[in-house]
Structure 1
Amino acid sequence: MKAQTTPRIKICGLKTAATIQQMDGLPFHDIGFIFAASKRQVLPAQAAELIAAVHGLKAADGQRPQTVGVFVNPALAELSETLAIAPLDVVQLHGSETPAFCQMVREQLAVKVWKVFSIRDEAAVQSEKVTDRGSGANTSASADEAAARLAPYAGKVDAVLIDTAGGGTGKAFNWQVIEDYKAAEAQLKVPLYVAGGLNPDNVQELLASYAPSGLDVSSGVETDGVKDIDKIRLFVRKVMQR
């Protein structure tokens, strides 16, 4: 039997160094800062201080976590100016960024690029089957859509992430589409992160049913809109105990 691989864990939307310091020793992999308009938004100077705190952590495998900046349709100049202040490891693009733009960011700014694909309601609940006229085989319409969306980004991104449309909603999409995106992601040979409505109560169900290679949690480890270190620890523990 093939050994079960531990998924990568990303904790997103951090805003205080105190919480970051409390995460020392937890076996997570990535820590996210939101630069797009949001109640969790941080400015570059603030992010620089938080990144400095991250560099003092030991996380999964005794390594420091990667720092990830979340942006929506940024200009290249904006990213360049931000990175000059806040030295991120990864730029996560959450808008309508093209494959060419992703490649340009990787090459000109020397950072990893993750591309987010929003799962629309109509795609999430779609169970209709379409027939491949060439082979007569039945294939899922959502599988075709997933392949068409991801294929242009092959060789241009370092990971893909699927999230509930709108992002930061705290709501999960219909997880049935995950298998379609896993198949498409396998062609890109990069990790697939799942976000949207994850929390300590449902993450083991997700892992048991779909086993994505990465998890991205934000509001699910908050209390009254503030990151809760006890919930962060519980989330990580639930992942490790799956």
Structure 2
Amino acid sequence: MTATPRIKICGLKETATIEAMDGLPFHEIGFVFAPSKRQVSAETAASLIRAVKRIQAADGTAPQTVGVFVNPSVEVLAAIVEQAPLDIVQLHGQETPDFCRLAKNNLQTKVWKVLSIGQDGVSAIERISAYSGAVDAILIDTAGGGTGQTFDWQVIAQYQEAAAAIHVPLYVAGGLNPDNVGDLLADNQVDGIDVSSGVETDGCKDIEKIRLFVRKVIER
């Protein structure tokens, strides 16, 4: 059996859901600051982060907190991180390697870069190698993000190899849910997985689906 990937649950908005996740063996919890039905303010995120720090996740430690942004300025990032002390900034737009490097140098956080699959014909190694030294992880997602749609998983191995070449983990997102995550992991070795809409019911996070998703990853 391959190593169990890290698990990120994204798009949280309610303290009660976070409290109900206490004890689940996941690793990161995400808050969306970009325009979205899951968007939260810095003030709300600060309150949610306080709740996160009171729970235990994988290894008996509090999960890492991730803020999701699309094409922000460094000034916007700094202002939000000052109010909501995130562990990780996840950049989901057209942010360049230079911007990612600038953000890393100016923020006391890690920086993750999201690459959309299916937008162009550039190779995985060419796309990822440009971010060497500029990011702490690469995440690949369906173009558009937050669509609930999967992409062609046959490209994952190429991206996993390219991420390993710059010594960062690769996370996979895009349409994952309790029903298909086992299929993904049966055929692909990845460092982490990211789920949002796949653990929702009627647009709201569903703690039973979150528990089931985590169990499917752990017990596969």
TM-score normalised by the chain length of structure 1? 0.89
Distance 1:45 1:122 in 2: 37
* 1:102 equivalent in structure 2: 100
Letter in 2 for 1:5: A
Q: Offset of 1:76 from its aligned partner?
A: 0.5
* 1:150 equivalent in structure 2: 128
SS at match of 1:160: strand
* Residue 165 (1) aligns with residue 163 (2): no
Q: Number of matched residues? A: 220
* 1:198 equivalent in structure 2: 176
Gaps of 5+ in 1: 124-143
Q: Conserved in 2, the CA contact under 8 Å of 1:11 and 1:30?
A: yes
Gaps of 5+ in 2: none
Q: Offset of 1:122 from its aligned partner?
A: 6.6
Q: Kindly report which structure 2 residues correspond to 1:179-198, keeping only aligned pairs within 5 A, or say none.
A: 179-198=157-176
Q: Conserved in 2, the CA contact under 8 Å of 1:121 and 1:173?
A: no
Q: 2:23 aligns with which of 16, 22, 25?
A: 25
Q: Conserved in 1, the CA contact under 8 Å of 2:2 and 2:189?
A: no
Q: Kindly report which structure 2 residues correspond to 1:3-22, keeping only aligned pairs within 5 A, or say none.
A: 4-22=2-20
Distance 1:111 1:238 in 2: 30
* 1:65 equivalent in structure 2: 63
Distance 2:81 2:172 in 1: 25
1:36-87 CA-to-partner distances (Å, cap 9, x unmatched) read 0000000000000000000001000001100000000000100011011100
Q: Offset of 1:228 from its aligned partner?
A: 0.1
* Residue 92 (1) aligns with residue 83 (2): no
Distance 1:166 1:76 in 2: 22
Q: 1:177 aligns with which of 155, 180, 183?
A: 155
Q: Conserved in 2, the CA contact under 8 Å of 1:13 and 1:32?
A: yes
1:68-127 CA-to-partner distances (Å, cap 9, x unmatched) read 00000000100011011100000000011111111111111121000000001675xxxx
Q: Kindly report which structure 2 residues correspond to 1:121-160, keeping only aligned pairs within 5 A, or say none.
A: 145-160=123-138
Letter in 2 for 1:153: Y
Distance 1:4 1:120 in 2: 27
Letter in 2 for 1:190: V
Q: Offset of 1:151 from its aligned partner?
A: 0.5
SS at match of 2:104: helix
Distance 1:199 1:30 in 2: 16
SS at match of 2:106: helix
Distance 1:122 1:190 in 2: 22
Q: Kindly report which structure 2 residues correspond to 1:40-55, keeping only aligned pairs within 5 A, or say none.
A: 40-55=38-53
1:218-242 CA-to-partner distances (Å, cap 9, x unmatched) read 0000000000000000000000011
Q: Offset of 1:183 from its aligned partner?
A: 1.3
Tell me how large the CA RMSD over aligned residues is.
1.1
* Residue 235 (1) aligns with residue 176 (2): no
Taking only the aligned residue pairs, the percentage that are identical comes to 63
Distance 1:91 1:150 in 2: 18
Q: Conserved in 2, the CA contact under 8 Å of 1:11 and 1:217?
A: yes
Q: Offset of 1:179 from its aligned partner?
A: 0.9
* Residue 37 (1) aligns with residue 15 (2): no
SS at match of 1:153: coil
Q: Which moved more, 1:66-75 or 1:183-192?
A: 183-192
